[in-house]
């Protein structure tokens, strides 16, 4: 490390929750910022509180799960106000003493940049920031990410956070760092052209087992329950060539076989975006696999698209159905109707996908939603020949459903983001009960 080069420490904080599992979850935004800063002459370090492959952690083998796996889990006290929830609350990730030891091993950073994901996971941010502050008391800490963007005012009240950075970080982070460190360089990428961005710094991880990849940003829809348009208001696309070259890089350099699509709207305008990418993947002949935990838009699945997805190596397909209840879809979103869902499923199965590879997300726990509506949706999806996957609703500030969620909830959602946790069914008036979850699991498994 050159002595005159500012040193930046990027931290991915813990998850504090009733349940958590690594379903292909990596801090794409944080590691993209690390790559941008490294590209512009900063020295960069990275510590991941969720690191399943930490040198002191039990050996983890996730090959059978295509990169997925459980986090290390440590029970901790529940947040104030959640005593009525009959579930164990835990810290997910490495032990705090391991994190502190790792902090002591790195050179003193000039700035610490910390990411944030779910709004109700902010207690993990609080704990990670406190440990970092204890080791580096004079180093400023910047917080960005989803929680910082959606709950900026709340985040600004956190004791150990010095600056809150909202929205996409790439356009403004270098100017902020120049003001803080005095280190500035001519911009080496175009913030409005995703093809000019450096590849995310996944090489900073202990192990590169799977790669999240984003071929576009933003979403043209504004669904009542979703914050995508708030987090990324501008729709941006990468070229097929740029995507293919990234896949080649990680596959050849790090032997990665599993790629996880983080797009919110991969199949929108498929002929000009997804189709050229899928055709390019097929032409490379790479033996790689793709997974879509963010869900594909059903309307974009045609007979031709289904065939391309299958031939390109897609193995885990998730569809965004939300509900099949008559009259309930339109207030939620306008992406698809049930007849289009049925046709899309038929195309996928005819293309060669098996029933256990394709699943449809169904929202559960919406304001005013009846249990009968949920059970009917599960029944209809199973009848179509694929798997229903309950997706428990979390109220998100500034979305269209936020006001209805506040009315329906037994908690004061405005007072603390922890009350929006989907694991506690926050929009039910009755206290949390395991009976609902057990019943849903039984319905899905039957």
Render pLDDT for 84-109 as a digit per residue (tens, 0 to 9): 899 999 999 999 999 999 999 999 99
Whether pLDDT at 444 is above 90: no
Mark 292-302 as b/e (b = at least 16 C-beta within 10 Å): bebbbbbbbbb
Q: How confident is the model at residue 14 (pLDDT cuts 50, 70, 90)?
A: very high
- Domain membership flag for residue 202: no
For the chain, what percent of residues have pLDDT higher than 70?
Answer: 96
Mark 196-231 as b/e (b = at least 16 C-beta within 10 Å): ebbbbbbebbeebbbbbbbbbbbbebebbbbbbbbb
- Domain membership flag for residue 356: yes
Q: Residues 177, 262: one domain?
A: no
In this prediction, residues 229-245 reach a mean pLDDT of 93
Report the range of poorest mean pLDDT among 301-305, 313-317, 365-369: 365-369
Among 173, 93, 99, smallest CA distance to 133 is for 99
Residue by residue, DSSP assigns 6-59 as: -EEEEEE--EEES---BSS---HHHHHHHHHHHHTT-EEEEEETT-TT-TTSPP
- Domain membership flag for residue 186: no
Alpha carbon distance 445, 318 (integer Å): 17
Q: How confident is the model at residue 137 (pLDDT cuts 50, 70, 90)?
A: very high
Q: What is the pLDDT of residues 345-372, one digit of tens each?
A: 999 999 999 999 999 999 999 999 988 8
- Domain membership flag for residue 198: no
Domain count, the chain: 2
Q: How confident is the model at residue 178 (pLDDT cuts 50, 70, 90)?
A: very high
- Domain membership flag for residue 194: no
Q: Residues 131, 268: one domain?
A: no
Whether pLDDT at 330 is above 80: no
Whether pLDDT at 64 is above 80: no
- Domain membership flag for residue 162: yes
Q: Residues 170, 303: one domain?
A: no
Mark 108-125 as b/e (b = at least 16 C-beta within 10 Å): ebbbbbbbbbbbbbbbbb
Dump strand ranges (E) for 67-109.
73-75, 90-92
Of 170 and 143, more confident: 143
Domain end call among 181, 198, 225: 181
Task: Give the CATH number for residue 69.
Answer: 3.40.50.280
- Domain membership flag for residue 271: yes
Whether pLDDT at 328 is above 80: no
Q: Residues 242, 329: one domain?
A: yes
Q: Residues 136, 240: one domain?
A: no
* pLDDT attached to residue 437: 84
Report the range of poorest mean pLDDT among 5-14, 98-107, 228-237, 241-250: 228-237
* pLDDT attached to residue 229: 85
Residue by residue, DSSP assigns 271-333 as: TTTHHHHHHHHHHHT---EEE-TT-B-GGG--HHHHHHHHHHTEEEEEEEEE---TTTHHHH-
Q: How confident is the model at residue 2 (pLDDT cuts 50, 70, 90)?
A: low
Q: What is the pLDDT of residues 194-210, one digit of tens each?
A: 999 999 999 999 999 99
Q: Residues 108, 13: one domain?
A: yes
Q: What are phi and psi of 248, to 5 degrees?
A: -60, -40
Q: How confident is the model at residue 11 (pLDDT cuts 50, 70, 90)?
A: very high
Report the range of poorest mean pLDDT among 146-160, 255-269, 323-337, 368-382: 323-337
Q: Residues 82, 38: one domain?
A: yes
Q: Residues 18, 88: one domain?
A: yes
Contact 263, 295 (CB under 8 A): no
Supply the mean pLDDT for the chain. 92
* pLDDT attached to residue 277: 98
Domain end call among 139, 166, 181: 181
Q: Residues 352, 437: one domain?
A: yes
Q: Residues 167, 219: one domain?
A: no
Domain span at 54:
7-181
Q: Residues 214, 175: one domain?
A: no
Which burial class, exposed, middle or buried, applies to 383 when counting CB atoms under 10 A from its CB (0-12, 13-18, 19+)? Answer: exposed
- Cα of 189 vs its chain's centroid, Å: 25
Q: Residues 153, 232: one domain?
A: no
Contact 128, 114 (CB under 8 A): yes
Cα distances (Å, whole numbers) of residue 375 to 362, 444, 445: 10, 9, 12
- Domain membership flag for residue 70: yes
In this prediction, residues 52-66 reach a mean pLDDT of 82
Task: Give the CATH number for residue 240.
Answer: 3.20.20.70
Among 254, 225, 238, 255, smallest CA distance to 399 is for 225
In this prediction, residues 277-282 reach a mean pLDDT of 98
In this prediction, residues 20-42 reach a mean pLDDT of 95
């Amino acid at each position: 490390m050159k002595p005159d080069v500012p040193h930046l420490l990027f931290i991915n904080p813990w998850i504090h929750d009733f349940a958590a599992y690594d379903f292909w979850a990596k801090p794409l935004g944080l590691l993209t910022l690390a790559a941008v800063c490294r590209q512009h002459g900063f020295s960069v370090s990275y510590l991941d509180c969720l690191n399943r492959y930490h040198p002191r952690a039990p050996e983890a083998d996730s090959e059978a799960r295509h990169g997925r796996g459980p986090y290390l889990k440590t029970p901790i006290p529940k947040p104030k106000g959640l005593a009525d929830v009959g579930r164990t609350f835990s810290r997910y990730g490495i032990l705090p003493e391991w994190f502190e030891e790792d902090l002591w091993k790195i050179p003193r950073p000039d700035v610490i940049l910390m990411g944030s994901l779910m709004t109700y996971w902010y207690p993990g941010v609080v704990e990670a920031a406190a440990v970092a502050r204890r080791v580096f008391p004079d180093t400023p800490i910047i917080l960005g990410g989803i929680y910082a963007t959606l709950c900026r005012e709340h985040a600004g009240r956190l004791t150990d956070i010095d600056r809150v950075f909202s929205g996409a970080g790439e356009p403004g982070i270098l100017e902020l760092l120049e003001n803080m460190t005095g280190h500035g360089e001519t911009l080496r990428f175009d913030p409005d052209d995703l093809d000019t961005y450096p590849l995310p710094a996944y090489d900073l991880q202990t192990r590169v087992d799977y790669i999240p990849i984003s071929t576009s940003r933003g979403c043209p829809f504004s669904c009542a329950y979703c914050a995508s348009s708030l987090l990324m208001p501008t729709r941006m696309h990468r070229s097929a060539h740029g995507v293919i070259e990234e896949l080649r890089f990680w596959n050849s350099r790090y032997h990665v076989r599993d790629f996880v699509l983080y797009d919110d709207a991969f199949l929108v305008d498929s002929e000009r975006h997804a189709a050229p990418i899928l055709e390019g993947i097929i032409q490379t002949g790479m033996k790689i696999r793709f997974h879509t935990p963010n869900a594909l838009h059903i309307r974009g699945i045609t007979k031709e698209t289904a065939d391309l997805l299958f031939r390109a190596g897609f193995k885990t397909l998730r569809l965004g159905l939300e509900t099949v209840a008559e009259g309930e879809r339109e207030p939620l979103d306008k992406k698809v109707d049930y007849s289009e869902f049925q046709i899309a499923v038929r195309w996928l199965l005819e293309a060669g996908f098996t029933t256990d590879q394709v699943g449809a997300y169904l929202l559960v726990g919406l304001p005013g939603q009846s249990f009968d509506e949920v059970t009917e949706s599960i029944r209809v999806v199973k009848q179509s020949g694929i798997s229903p996957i309950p997706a428990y609703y979390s109220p998100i500030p500034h979305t269209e459903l936020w006001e209805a969620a506040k009315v329906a909830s037994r908690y004061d959602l405005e007072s603390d983001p922890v009350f929006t946790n989907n694991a506690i069914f926050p929009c039910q008036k009755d206290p949390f009960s395991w009976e609902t979850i057990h019943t849903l699991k039984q319905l899905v498994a039957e």
